Amino acid sequence: MATQPLLINGEWRAARQPVGEFRAEDPTTGEPIGPAFPICGEADVEAALAAATAAAAALADTPPERIAAFLEAYAAAIEADAETLVALANAETALPKQPRLSAVELPRTTNQLRLAAKAVRSYAWTQPVIDTAANLRAHRAPLSKPVLVFGPNNFPFAFNAIAGSDFASAIAARNPVIAKAHPSHPATSERLAQLALTALQQAGLPPASVQMLYHFDHAIGARLAGDARLGAIGFTGSRAGGLALKAAADAAGIPAYMELSSVNPVFLLPGALAERGAALAQEFFASCTMGSGQFCTNPGVVIVPRDAAGDAFVEAATAHFAGAAPGVLFSRGVLDHLQHGVATLRSAGAALLAGGDAGAPGYRHAPTLLSVDASQFLSQPNALQTEAFGPVSLLVRADDVAQMVAVAAAFEGNLTGTLYTAADGSDDDAWSKVASALRSRVGRLIGNRMPTGVAVSPAMNHGGPYPSTSHPGFTAVGMPAAMQRFTALHCYDNVPEHQLPAELRDRNPGGVARCIDGVWCIDDIDLGAQRG
């Protein structure tokens, strides 16, 4: 049977020797929808890798203006095609068209592409550093090798392998991208790839700058991830899948940036609860169940003091969860994983306060609230940090601030950690103690708002210590910061001025921020002063 074509080396062409095929499913019914897509074998993977490798040098030498033009044309094409894209994504993911897909995620995606274009035009991502006395000049440069991007199931636009943050980061840094779409939304990914190819052709980038594969099995994935022709890997997904790919990449010396898992602890300090516990229960419930809780930064563990205000919060939160309809999940796999996670938490001593059951038809699960004593959490910290990806959260009841601190210190690496404090300053001391224990365990420390919002900002850190990600020093969101993952540090030592890249020459190409002899400025290098 014919399957949808792959985008390889600038052409839509049939899979060669695919090992199988698959279709998307409507998560609300579990029924297959849309056309069949190929599961690639070695031949297609090799073709994509060879084409990307051959294109890498030409892309690295492409003028920034053309990269920026591609990103902006692509953003505009996504906007022009929004209705179709949103309909496809809604059908494949069951995420609501409004506001989520239309008003939040799609604009976020186009904004991200445009911010990447801006970073390209300003050279901000290259971070030029110049030592005039030694005549040493360094900057960040393309890897000159392909970047393999694995998209997750939970953001069909904003983290899509062919439109999201990893994609935008990698290609803005002038690296070819081999996009491995998530097989739960292939038609959305195909539509995006069509728009990307047109924009690519308009901008005159090498044809293999952007390629699209929909699916391959674990063995081929591991072989590809360990191929020395790759420059880097960007991955967002499950811990088990990510670690298998990371192991393959590590053995070949390939930097692999994996966003793996996180339970995003939220500490409700006593004063905050006393001040506005009912509002916090509502805010927590909304954050935990939005998008059926399928966020990397879902508040999966909430630490609640064992006092009257804490009891009231638990009662209110339980009522919210108990009264909510089951949420639709992306797939059978997500549902299975969630049920397994809830079972693990219950086996480790967590009591069920609300929800707990799958729903029908399709892939549904009730918003689920569990609770455990802090002493029990501290006795089984690993099991009780199991990520239950979906509308699930575990309340940890702590006797006092000292026990909250002990719980904070028991967390493994997470993307975020949140503290809610009283406006009157009565939690200040508790903040200091809990934050001190939590700070090094999370990438983003948050005050008085839920972790599910991830602003696309140069000051964002959507990252964190292992095992939330594979490296504590990088963010997957925010331009130009996220681009840094897909760059190499290049130094020019006594290189003739006319052989230097534009942003390292004496004359500033125009408003580029450069660190010259320790001072950030947008100046030219004063030849008279230096050489006179």
Query: Is residue 466 involved in binding a copy of itself (CB under 8 A)?
Result: yes
Residue 463 and residue 259 in contact, taking contact as beta carbons nearer than 8 Å: yes
Q: Which is nearer to a copy of itself, 255 or 390 (CB)?
A: 255
**Exposed / middle / buried, residue 455 (Cβ in 10 Å: 0-12, 13-18, 19+):** exposed
Positions of E strands within 182-310: 210-213, 232-236, 256-259, 266-268, 301-305
Query: Is residue 526 involved in binding a copy of itself (CB under 8 A)?
Result: no
SS3 state at 125: helix
> Which of 39, 68, 443, 508 is in the footprint of a copy of itself by CB under 8 A?
443
Query: What residues between 175 and 214 interact with a copy of itself by CB under 8 A?
Result: none
> Which of 40, 129, 245, 407 is in the footprint of a copy of itself by CB under 8 A?
129
Residue 233 and residue 251 in contact, taking contact as beta carbons nearer than 8 Å: no
Query: Is residue 140 involved in binding a copy of itself (CB under 8 A)?
Result: yes
Query: Is residue 436 involved in binding a copy of itself (CB under 8 A)?
Result: yes
> Which of 431, 503, 508, 525 is in the footprint of a copy of itself by CB under 8 A?
431
Least spacing, CB of residue 444 vs a copy of itself, in Å: 4
User: What's 155-172 look like in SS3?
Assistant: CCCCCCCCCCHHHHHHHH
Query: What residues between 254 and 273 interact with a copy of itself by CB under 8 A?
Result: 254-255
Distance, in Å, from the CA atom of 434 to the CA atom of 439, rounded to the nearest integer, reads 8
Query: What residues between 97 and 126 interact with a copy of itself by CB under 8 A?
Result: 124
The residue from 259, 275, 387, 503 that is catalytic is 259
Question: What's the angle, vertex CA 53, arms to CA 50 and CA 54, rounded to 5?
Answer: 85
Least spacing, CB of residue 316 vs a copy of itself, in Å: 23
Is there a catalytic annotation at residue 259? yes
> Which of 60, 319, 322, 406 is in the footprint of a copy of itself by CB under 8 A?
60
Q: Which is nearer to a copy of itself, 188 or 487 (CB)?
A: 487
Residues constituting the chain: 532
Scored b (16 or more CB within 10 A) or e, 149-159 reads bbbbbbbbbbb
Size of the site for a copy of itself (CB under 8 A): 78
> Which of 465, 483, 508, 525 is in the footprint of a copy of itself by CB under 8 A?
465
Query: What residues between 38 and 57 interact with a copy of itself by CB under 8 A?
Result: 57
**Single-letter amino acid, residue 233:** I
CA-closest candidate to residue 482, choices 115, 59, 106: 115
Query: What residues between 474 and 503 interact with a copy of itself by CB under 8 A?
Result: 474-475, 481, 484-485, 487-496, 498-499
Query: Is residue 240 involved in binding a copy of itself (CB under 8 A)?
Result: no
Kindly list the catalytic residues: 259, 296
